[in-house]
């Protein structure tokens, strides 16, 4: 505590009186690769039990001008939850209340409920929660704050499509309730949707009403090696002209090899440079899609048994783990699906020009490609120019600089550069919500 007080006009005694305060060094990091993550500042951790405590804490922090950072599961990839200014980090780990309203097909979740917990609870009530960002420890608050996506987004949408209601605390401590349990709401400006994707900069989400779906159907899975990226992505486009599969994941050859190594599972073929893992809810869809794969020169089409399905999902799910320590970062530009092949080609030209090796895989069904530029000696000298060029290509293609990971600390410069007018508007909104700039200072629009 003394460090926080030292040299500061503010006193945090009031906070100390009412809250248990922790020092947890690991909360200074999230899953952003260390190469690019900012160094955490000096911070204290508070673990409020409910929205009232958060409200009380924010009221004091706002009066005293103390920086507040919010941390959910800490699985973020844009350094959004890293405390970058001396202050207090609010962990939502004690906000665990969850209740299922079966007839209305909604879950009322406190912010710290994890993806894994919500999915299990929904299944126990004969329902499902379709979004599947890749880490089950992500929290509802964090997923809403980043508008998380995942492999099933092409069919089932992203977090935004599941948030019907929100309870949040504004920087001055006011509690607000937005939306509710209805599927429709045209009652004025949708502040609810403004908070979705706001990355802890406008308000702290304490509770959400989450839309649930009927149970998932049985899965059919195809694993398909192609010789070229063009063939693989033409197959994706052809399939989505006649049906929307649950997921269509693209992996370049080296990504498959990394997934094999980390998971200990084997991919279906040693041949091919571009691989697609396609998931369907109906067998006849898988069969129809398999024909399209052959029509686009697939080397072969493998139908996975239930055990193989689990293995292949594990292989795909573990690629990030295998590449994380070798990569400078994980880029997640998103382009229209008909432009993915062109995006990858243009990216390769840029990579060659800079001499940067990039491993790519991602959600081919929605255009969100994860590119991992690999670390090399002296990367710091050229990397930022390279990255700007890659993201500029996505913007030129009517794409986005982030499809699902958010801006956080690490993409704010590109947000400002590529969308200057919007950036100014976002800053004005930030000022309106948080005139003293206490919430997640330095992130997204600063």
Ligand X SMILES: Cc1cc2nc3c(=O)[nH]c(=O)nc-3n(C[C@H](O)[C@H](O)[C@H](O)COP(=O)(O)OP(=O)(O)OC[C@H]3O[C@@H](n4cnc5c(N)ncnc54)[C@H](O)[C@@H]3O)c2cc1C
Footprint of ligand X on residues 229-258 (CB under 6 A)?
none
Query: How far is it, in rounded angstroms, from Cα 122 to Cα 100?
Result: 7
Complex with ligand X: residue 320 or 386, whichever CB lies closer: 320
Q: Tell me: does residue 197 bind ligand X (CB under 6 A).
A: no
Residue 159 or residue 301: which is nearer to ligand X going by CB? 159
Hey, is 406 helix, strand or coil? coil
Which DSSP string do the residues of 150-199 spell out, in sequence order? -TTHHHH--GGGGEEEEEEE-TTS-EEEEE-S-S---SSS-HHHHHTT-T
Interface residue with ligand X, options 75, 220, 289, 351 (CB under 6 A):
75
Determine, following the binding rule CB under 6 A, whether residue 143 of this chain makes contact with ligand X: yes
Determine if 30 is a binding residue for ligand X (CB under 6 A): yes
Q: Work out how close the CB of 353 gets to ligand X at its nearest, in angstroms, rounded to a whole number.
A: 29
Token couple for 156: 């089932």
Q: What is the sign of the dihedral through the CA atoms of 307, 310, 312 and 314?
A: negative
**Closer residue to ligand X, CB minimum distance, 231 or 249:** 249
User: Which residue, 178 or 204, is less far from ligand X as judged by CB?
Assistant: 204
Question: Within 10 Å of residue 190's Cβ, how many Cβ atoms?
Answer: 13
Q: How far is the CB of 297 from ligand X (least distance, A)?
A: 28
The number of beta carbons lying within 10 Å of the beta carbon of residue 242 is: 10
Q: Give the residue carrying structure tokens 């299922």.
A: 100
For ligand X, the binding residue among 139, 240, 289, 347 (CB under 6 A) is 139
Cβ closer to ligand X: 80 or 272? 80
Ranges within 83-112 binding ligand X (CB under 6 A): 92, 111
List of E strands, 7-66: 21-22, 43-46
Q: Supply φ then ψ for residue 226, to 5 degrees.
A: -125, 155
74 binds ligand X (CB under 6 A): yes
Q: Which of residues 348-407 bind ligand X (CB under 6 A)?
A: 404-405
Asked if 70 is part of the footprint of ligand X (rule: CB under 6 A), the reply reads: yes
What's the N-to-C CA distance of the chain in angstroms?
27
Phi, psi (rounded to 5 degrees) for 384: -65, -35
Here's the x/- map for ligand X, 262-301, by CB under 6 A: it reads as ----------------------------------------
* Residues found near ligand X in the complex (CB under 6 A): 30-31, 70-77, 80-81, 92, 111, 133-135, 138-139, 141-143, 145-146, 148-150, 199-200, 204-205, 320, 404-405, 408, 440
């Amino acid at each position: 505590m003394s460090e926080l007080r030292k040299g500061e006009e503010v006193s945090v005694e009031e906070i100390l009186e009412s809250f248990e305060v922790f020092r947890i060094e690991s909360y200074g990091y999230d899953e952003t690769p260390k190469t690019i993550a900012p160094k955490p500042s000096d911070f204290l951790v508070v673990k409020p039990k409910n929205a009232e405590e958060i409200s009380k804490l924010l009221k004091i922090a706002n009066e005293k001008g103390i920086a507040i950072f919010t941390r959910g599961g800490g699985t973020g990839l844009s350094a959004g939850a890293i405390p970058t200014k001396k202050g207090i980090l609010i962990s939502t780990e004690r906000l665990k209340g969850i209740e299922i309203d079966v007839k209305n097909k909604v879950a009322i979740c406190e912010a710290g409920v994890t993806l894994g917990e919500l999915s299990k609870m929904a299944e126990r009530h004969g329902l499902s929660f379709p979004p599947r960002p890749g880490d089950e420890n992500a929290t509802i608050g964090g997923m809403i704050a980043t508008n998380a996506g995942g492999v099933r987004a092409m069919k089932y949408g992203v977090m935004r499509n599941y948030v019907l209601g929100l309870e949040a605390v504004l920087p001055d401590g006011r509690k607000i309730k937005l939306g509710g349990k209805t599927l429709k709401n045209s009652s004025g400006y949708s502040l609810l949707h403004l908070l979705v994707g706001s990355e802890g900069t406008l308000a702290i989400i304490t509770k959400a009403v989450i839309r649930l779906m009927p149970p998932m159907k049985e899965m059919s899975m195809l694993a398909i090696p192609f010789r070229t990226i063009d063939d693989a992505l033409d197959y994706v486009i052809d399939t989505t002209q006649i049906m929307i599969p649950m997921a269509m994941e693209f992996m370049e050859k080296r990504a498959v090899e990394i997934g094999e190594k980390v998971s200990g599972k084997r991919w279906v073929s040693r041949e091919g440079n571009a691989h697609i893992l396609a998931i369907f809810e109906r067998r006849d869809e898988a069969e129809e899609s398999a024909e399209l794969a052959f029509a686009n020169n697939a080397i072969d089409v493998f139908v996975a048994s239930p055990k193989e399905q689990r293995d292949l999902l594990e292989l795909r799910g573990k690629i990030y783990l295998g590449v994380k320590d070798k990569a400078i970062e994980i880029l997640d530009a998103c382009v229209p699906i008909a432009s993915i092949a062109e995006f990858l080609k243009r990216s390769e030209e840029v990579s060659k020009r800079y001499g940067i090796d990039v491993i790519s895989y991602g959600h081919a069904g929605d255009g969100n490609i994860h590119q991992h530029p690999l670390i090399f000696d002296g990367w710091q000298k050229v990397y930022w120019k390279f990255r700007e060029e890659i993201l500029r290509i996505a913007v030129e293609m009517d794409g986005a600089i982030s499809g699902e990971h958010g801006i956080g600390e690490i993409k704010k410069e590109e947000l400002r550069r590529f969308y200057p007018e919007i950036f100014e508007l976002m800053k004005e909104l930030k000022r309106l919500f948080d005139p003293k700039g206490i919430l997640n200072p330095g992130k997204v629009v600063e």
